[in-house]
Amino acid sequence: MKNSKQIKKIVKKSYADIAKSSGSCCCLNKKAQRQSGEMGYSEDEMSEVPTGSNLGLGCGNPIAIASLKSGESVLDLGSGNGRHTKLLSKQSRGTIGLDISFNILKLSIQKELDGISRDINLVNSDAVKLPFKDNVFDKLISIAVIHHLETKDNRKNVLSEIFRILKRDGLAQISCWLKSHPRFLKDDLRDVVQAGKKDVIVPWTLKNGEKISRYYYLFDIDEIETLAKNVGFSIIESKESNHNLFLTVKK
């Protein structure tokens, strides 16, 4: 098992490599445009995505659940290529995207967020210690991020940080892969997953042939719900979709 610093290096490098190759390893391994439609994006939303920027780095459409009001502040925690950030900004000018990878933030400006005049701020930071004051965000999304955190303390710390920076009655949507995800059922991982192993390193081959590795923690549904409750959240909705769990919580 790799240590915490090694895994963080894997995460940073793999995000940038995926973006450069225009490949996908976060959601189901399908063509990105079809994939986005299956995950809840409307035709209008997909039509606004620049050529080459729909990298399949997001898992699900938070817009349908967030229901932002004009003027509300929202954080896209683990913003990746900026696709969710862009869509959120259409509803709220107080949108911030945050990611651990500086390189992928640069790429998001060149592709997904290119030419946007709205107030979108990007922050390069680790999710376990967020650079924001208490009680500042109305809404927050964190799509397919928490399962990449390598220790229970880190996973708890991220949820505690989300709780801290949300305003009272603020809402967050957090998603993670489920064990039923097809990638975990392939020959190289099936046996260890079925044996109950929860910490797995998943190898991916990008379109350019490069091989990368990413860490995943395999949550049980009641496990992540309990973790959220333990930091103070109320569970609003717990929904399975496309082999992902979408957890909506309230402060």
The pLDDT value recorded for residue 36 is: 39
| Cα–Cα distance measured from residue 80 to residue 97, given in angstroms and rounded to the nearest whole number | 8
pLDDT at 9: 54
pLDDT for 248 equals 92
Considering its fold, how many domains does the chain have in total?
Answer: 1
Q: What is the pLDDT along the chain (251 residues), one digit of tens a residue?
A: 445 555 455 555 555 555 555 444 454 444 444 433 333 433 443 333 333 333 333 455 554 445 677 778 999 999 988 888 888 888 777 789 999 988 888 888 888 788 774 568 899 999 999 999 999 999 999 999 999 998 999 999 999 999 999 999 999 999 999 998 888 988 889 998 889 999 999 887 777 787 888 899 999 999 999 999 999 999 999 989 888 899 999 99
Q: Which two tokens stand for residue 112?
A: 């997904």
What is the structure's pLDDT at 168?
Answer: 97
Q: For residues 249 and 174, is the Cβ–Cβ distance under 8 A? A: yes
At residue 103, the pLDDT reads 87
pLDDT score, position 35? 39
Per-residue DSSP letter, 91: H
Assign 42 to helix, strand or coil: coil
Torsion 125-142-106-67 (CA) sign: negative
CATH number at residue 62: 3.40.50.150
The pLDDT of residue 110 is 83
Instruction: Tell me which residue range forms the domain holding 185.
Output: 4-250
CB count within 10 Å of CB 26 equals: 25
Q: According to the model, what pLDDT value does residue 161 have?
A: 98
DSSP β-bridge partners for residue 45: none
pLDDT given for residue 114 in this prediction: 80
pLDDT of residue 205: 78
